[in-house]
Amino acid sequence: MKARSRLRSVFYSAVTVLVALVVLEIGASWLMLGYYRATHQQNFETYDTSYLSVVNLARRFSRLVGLSEPAMVLEETSPSPFFRADPRLGYSVAPGAYTHSYARRNGFTGEWEYFRNKVTINPDGSRFVGAPRHGKPTVFIFGDSWVFGNGVPDELTFAGRLYQALPDWNVRLLALGGYSLTQAWLTFERLKEIGPDDIVILGYADYFDVRHVEAPSRLREIESWLKRINQPIAPFQLPKATLAPDGRVTMGTIDQRCAMLGDYCSGPDPSQEEMTDVTSALVNQIAARSPAKVYLLHFAGSPDNPVRRQVSPKVEVIAAVRSEFDSVVQDDIIGFDGHPGPFWHYAISRKLLASIAWTP
């Protein structure tokens, strides 16, 4: 009887421990999910590589108190640095061939693993998508890291796919991570070669609005992201757009380091109405100066974004946010990074091919 009683006691204790672990895991999972949503992390496996939230929370706590290994550099480029200061655009990239690497810890083996990707920058600062086709019209594409194709090989960006699908056209990809329509506006000022037979595609996402005015939340985001991947904050002077009383865009600069700006980064953002007006003015003034047809490729955000209604009749909006496809197209860089992967780029290229009359 005593042996049976002891066995029953061990069994109940084991069940109690198991139930407690399940409850703890559920609670930890809710905490981690709340954290991911609050910080807009889609590529969570890069930062919390175990599929058990309790393990991830323990690892974060041990790192916080200095008991675990130092944090790895999660993104780096060779040769380095990739970005260089640019007096006009804030920063740019020197021509050359680069290898961009992502690192993460494997959730099963515990070993670090890497994904490496080729990036080629042409002498004019554009990303390589194919050899020049002399005497052919050009598609000029502007945008940020999504448009640039962070984590995607040169030939698999949507610009590269357009180049492959349109043998009678050149394609110039004038995008870069962190850019917005301010860099497009500034670049457009010095592009003298755009003609009436060319096409201009302005990549745009809802999150560009805070970039155009360099809102406090945007500078905090830059600081947080660089800290997360363990990279220093460079002293870049970013372009900052404002509207003059007559509605014209004026461009100033602001240091991207919050530490150099006093209380600016702790302040509120401009109103959404003001930021929408700045975005619309940037688009409309580019279109007013362009001899070529201008398209606004709205690739992320809400289909109800008021910018779509405020652009001039000279601008044709291409609706390409996630909900405007009949299939899910939002892949990523195989779990290493949250930027869209080759399937998204393919879908965007198909959308552009179907939306534009490609008559050279």
CATH number, position 134: 3.40.50.1110
- pLDDT category at 350 given cuts 50, 70, 90 is very high
Residues 157 and 27 in one domain: no
The three-state secondary structure class of 240 is strand
Is 231 within a domain? yes
Is 360 within a domain? no
What is the count of structural domains for the chain?
A: 2
Is 221 within a domain? yes
Residues 236 and 107 in one domain: yes
Q: Which domain holds residue 26?
A: 2-64
Q: Please give the structure tokens belonging to residue 216.
A: 């406090």
pLDDT of amino acid 82 = 94
Is 157 within a domain? yes
Is 70 within a domain? no
pLDDT of amino acid 210 = 98
- pLDDT category at 13 given cuts 50, 70, 90 is confident
Residues 334 and 196 in one domain: yes
Q: Report the amino acid identity of residue 309.
A: R
- Looking up tokens 């070993």, which residue turns up? 111
Residues 348 and 260 in one domain: yes
- pLDDT category at 45 given cuts 50, 70, 90 is very low
Residues 231 and 146 in one domain: yes
* Mean pLDDT score, 69-74: 56
For the CA atoms of 206, 209, 210, 212, what is the dihedral angle to 10 degrees? 140
Range of weakest confidence among 1-5, 66-70, 97-101, 153-157: 66-70
Nearest to 281 by CA among 259, 250, 322: 250
Exposure letters 145-184 (e unless 16+ CB within 10 A, then b): bbbbbbbbebbbbbbbbbbeebeebbbbbbbbbbbbbbbb
Is 58 within a domain? yes
Residues 50 and 111 in one domain: no
Q: How far apart are CA 40 and CA 218, in angstroms?
A: 13
For the sheet with 96-105, list strands across it: 75-78, 96-105, 112-121
64, 95, 111 — which closes off a domain?
64
Residues 84 and 42 in one domain: no
Is 69 within a domain? no
Nearest to 231 by CA among 66, 83, 91: 83
**65 pLDDT higher than 60:** no
- pLDDT category at 42 given cuts 50, 70, 90 is very low
pLDDT of amino acid 240 = 98
Is 173 within a domain? yes
At a CB cut-off of 8 Å and minimum separation 6, what does 348 contact?
A: 158, 297, 299, 320, 329
64, 83, 106 — which closes off a domain?
64
Q: How far apart are CA 78 and CA 97, in angstroms?
A: 9
What mean pLDDT, rounded, does the chain reach? Answer: 88
Distance of CA 2 to the CA centre of its chain: 65
- pLDDT category at 31 given cuts 50, 70, 90 is low
Residues 198 and 246 in one domain: yes
Residues 16 and 111 in one domain: no
41, 64, 87 — which closes off a domain?
64
| pLDDT tens column, 297-311 | 999 999 999 999 999
Residues 231 and 143 in one domain: yes
Residues 319 and 287 in one domain: yes
0.85 exceeded by pTM: no
Share of the chain above pLDDT 90, in %: 70
Residues 41 and 162 in one domain: no
